[in-house]
Amino acid sequence: MIKLFSNNTINLPGLLLLVALASSCKKLIEIPANPPTAITEAQQFADSATAMTAISGVYSYTGFASSGFMYNNAYFTACTSLSSNDLVYTATYDASMQQFYTNGVNDLNTLANTLWGNPYTGLYGVNAVLSNISASNVFSASFKTQITGEMKLVRAFYYFNTVNLFGDIPLILSTDYKKTSVLPRTPVDGIYTQILSDLADAQKALPTTYPSDGRVRPNLYTVLSLLSKVQLYRQQWQAAYDAANSVIGSGLYTLESDPNMVFLDGSNEAIWQLPATGSNNVTQEASTFIPYSSSIPTYLLSPALLNAFETGDLRRSAWVRDYLVKVNGIDQHFFGPYKYKNINATTTPYTEDYMIFRVADLYLIRAEAAAHLGKTTEALADLDMVRARAGLAASSAVTADDIIAAVLRERRIEFFCEWGNRWFDLKRTGTIDAVLSAEKPGWKPYLALYPVPRPQRQFNSLLTQNPGY
């Protein structure tokens, strides 16, 4: 792994600046006056006020990968959407991104190295908070419980995404660089064991209320949202159903009637939503997918995805942008992702935040789990909730198998270009080979996992490579 800090000192100039920026959108905490730019860990965790600067930094979504939340540069969304059949890449200047579209990623791909390295950068900060909070005797028991629950949820989230990209990965639970830098890969089942352990601890620790303004710092239902997804992926249908049922039954979250409202600050649909900062690059998804000129967009929705929309689907008009571009003097239409629309906060009347979990996912998780459990009436009711919001008629599916297929089709439309859902759904359902071999020449089953980046293997000789690379 990349060494971020020395064992004794945390360098925080960027972190504290980003926290201050984040607090202008939502006040997570009070930042101490004239904070230092480089402090020891002992100083950082001397009391709850200074400790909260580090904790707030974990949640800072900024558009820069130097600190804060480590999925803030749109690479995760872009790479997984290109790997599946959601997006087409039209540019030629970025060979690394092109490799994801053609499923030709190799172990020298710089973006694969980013997808591996960024979560471990984030995990270092999470583990630092956990170890210092646990070892300190200056914090109240309630403060320790709250922060430990939050950090374990974040850690589980990082591991869930990374294990689904790479398979076996190192399990790092401390900041002892001498030990963590030479760890071998832990099997997938071992990673999931840790994820479930962290979620169990977080479930016991976190209340149903959010600990700060907005829905930035997790509550119990944030934990249950990730738990429902983890159990769905593990095909533990009853556990997935129960967790999703608790979130939906809380009454805190409702589907927005207008798809254009889903990603806005304060969305009723949001379960976990980070405030973006700055007047430009408000969210990296917007600045990545929306072109700044009248040329052909770099990222287009694939023909297969466009054809999957039903007539009258409100999501097509709300979340897909039609670009009219002259090509050789002839007007042509190109269609790109448009869930996040705000690339300049100073010229738009609304604020978009970065959505992590939203309740539509829980409805479709509960529907899929219910169908597997034989609860077809309940499954259809949940499926039709999502369809109704999209302006569509009730599903005509009848049997459990038909309902599951309908749910997966609905997931494709509802969650395109969101958190790798299409890429992960193809893999977890065992349909990836059939789907992508029909659409992408040269597809091979081993491509479902990204390669372990060569720089990581050169740094740590105990890391093995995924088969096929």
Answer whether residue 74 is part of any domain. yes
Distance from CA of residue 388 to its chain's centroid? 25
Higher pLDDT among residues 373 and 9, named by residue: 373
Answer whether residue 283 is part of any domain. no
| Closest C-alpha among 91, 102, 82, 109 to residue 441 | 102
pLDDT of residue 25: 35
Mean pLDDT along residues 238-244: 98
Answer whether residue 396 is part of any domain. yes
- pLDDT tens digits, 327-383: 999 999 999 999 999 887 666 667 889 999 999 999 999 999 999 999 999 999 999
Residue 110 burial (C-beta neighbours within 10 Å; 0-12, 13-18, 19+): middle
Answer whether residue 19 is part of any domain. yes
Answer whether residue 467 is part of any domain. no
Q: What is the mean pLDDT of the chain?
A: 89
Residue 174 has pLDDT above 60, yes or no: yes
Answer whether residue 408 is part of any domain. yes
User: Is 331 strand, coil or helix?
Assistant: strand
Residue 322 has pLDDT above 90, yes or no: yes
Answer whether residue 117 is part of any domain. yes
The boundaries of the domain holding residue 89 are 9-274+356-459
Higher pLDDT among residues 28 and 338, named by residue: 338
| Band of residue 2 on the pLDDT scale cut at 50, 70, 90 | very low
User: Is 333 strand, coil or helix?
Assistant: strand
pLDDT of residue 292: 85
Instruction: Of 39-53, 113-127, 199-213, 288-302, give the lowest mean pLDDT range.
Output: 39-53
| Closest C-alpha among 259, 235, 59, 170 to residue 456 | 170
Answer whether residue 312 is part of any domain. no
pLDDT of residue 281: 63
In sequence order, the β-bridge partners of residue 355 are 273
How many structural domains are present in the chain?
A: 1
Task: Answer positive or negative: Cα dihedral of 282, 265, 155, 109.
Answer: negative
- pLDDT tens digits, 62-102: 544 445 687 877 899 999 999 999 999 999 999 999 999 99
| Band of residue 4 on the pLDDT scale cut at 50, 70, 90 | very low
Distance from CA of residue 445 to its chain's centroid? 24
| Band of residue 276 on the pLDDT scale cut at 50, 70, 90 | confident
Instruction: Of 105-114, 275-284, 318-327, 446-455, give the lowest mean pLDDT range.
Output: 275-284
- What tokens were used for 129? 């908070």
CATH number of the domain bearing residue 425: 1.25.40.390
Catalogue the E-assigned strands of 344-438. Answer: 354-358
